[in-house]
A and B are shown apart, each in its own frame.
With several copies, the nearest count.
Chain A
């Protein structure tokens, strides 16, 4: 079964049965998990891959000669290969660097590639809908290098305002954009923007943290230059992130963190860094986490990314239309109101009820939504909001989850009305 191809057997109820946490009962109700945008729920296969690793094969990787050390190394490097396949990396596993999360990935991008290649006045073009992970590292680089960080505005229809994009591209060396907003659900036209960036002689980095588990990822087809995401948002474990970049770029990037594993040689008077992804993987890496990620990739491939897209689009479409019709305009969706180029992340502004209180009331119904600025304060300011209450879907979500969400929202409105 090729990754990304629909299989008729996709059944969210089976995914649900595979996911131990969904059996949790809270306040005498079964859990309604609507916070996959913050972190997804791993299936049993992922949890067991890690337990089995610790029970049977745990050892430090590299340099080991004995059996379990070889097995641990094979698991770790196997995860690299699985990820390379999953995102269709043109030169395979040699282009995959493991970090601790997507955020470290953006720091690696800014502090290694950016520090070397950008100088005062060079522009990094981000957007108003970026997560702090794709903003703060650039601000930090600005303090050091004097680069300019420029923001693509977001329209009132919650999409990038690309009217002036040609003039915004002036002086841009890197475009760094989210593939899908973790607040609005908006999916950005990355392929077009990659072509645009390249036409202007710039590179493009993609924040795939939100998109990677909810649509097929093909870095070759998108023709992008960096692709960064976290394992814990794709049914995998915490403690592991991924940076993909072209081999030719990776080879030219200076080291970032220093220590064991990233060197070719160390003398008392200096050191020589290693080649390949290891140069960026100082210290004992997240080995068990790689075992988990490898299993998560297999699981997602088994479901079929195209099936997931279709399933989540149906859920989103149903939820958006019911949210629009049920509440007489008292519940506003902060994001595109149709399912064209948008994913299953639904931010809500509930009239007269603060998002914190929305989430609190929903918790009594065992509904898990996240209140807050979602690490996107510039976007919040853009829409004059302090926070939203965000519901988001995963492959295990069902229309029933939306039912409970709506029931609980009614209760919140009554309570504070």
Chain B
């Protein structure tokens, strides 16, 4: 059962059981963006408040599996209070991580140990790449956040 525990690391189960930044923000001023995975019915709503190019607050509602829920919780913790440019970097790094599966098959873009360390708790989601159908669960919140940032540009 090693690979199952690879997927469901303690950090993930913890964020699933006790999601961070759960709730809504008054919008406006916050932006409200919906994400949707038609295949499994997972839904997510991201509220983001950007002031002076800083993501000052983020909240999440919605429902989904442990992977999509913990990923959104981990995301909120990682991006909250960060400058938008840095948030975009974190999103890019995370997407890179999710492509690990293909990347390790012959490119030089596989995440290094240093990369992973830099990601902190997010690295716990690395196990997802071994379960390709679940990658969409993990990236749902991130795509929704990216969309929210784009809409504000």
Residues of A within 8 A of B (CB): 62-65, 70, 73, 263-265, 274, 353-357, 360-361, 364, 371-373, 377, 380, 386-387, 415-416
Contacts and interface: CB of A to CB of B under 8 A. Distances in A.
Given A64-B133, A356-B65, A415 B8 contact: yes
A204 B30 CA distance: 47
Contacts of A357: 8, 65-67
A37 B41 CA distance: 19
B111 to A, nearest CB: 23
Given A386-B63, A416-B66, A361 B43 contact: no
B41 A386 contact: yes
Contacts of A415: 8, 13
Interface in B26-78: 36, 38-43, 63-67, 69
Contact of A361 (B4, B40, B64, B69): B4
Given A364-B4, A372-B39, A416-B16, 11 more contacts: A263-B38, A264-B36, A265-B36, A356-B40, A356-B134, A360-B7, A360-B131, A372-B40, A386-B40, A386-B42, A387-B40
A81 to B, nearest CB: 12
Nearest to A74: B132
Nearest to B43: A386
B132 A360 contact: no
B18 to A, nearest CB: 13
A263 B36 CA distance: 12
Closest 10 CB pairs of A and B: A356-B65, A354-B65, A264-B38, A386-B41, A364-B4, A357-B66, A373-B41, A387-B41, A357-B65, A63-B39
Given A354-B66, A360-B131, A380 B8 contact: no
B60 to A, nearest CB: 16
23 contacts: A62-B39, A64-B133, A65-B133, A263-B38, A265-B38, A354-B66, A356-B64, A356-B65, A357-B8, A357-B66, A360-B4, A360-B7, A360-B131, A372-B39, A372-B40, A372-B41, A373-B41, A377-B41, A386-B41, A386-B63, A386-B64, A387-B40, A416-B16
Contacts of B1: 364
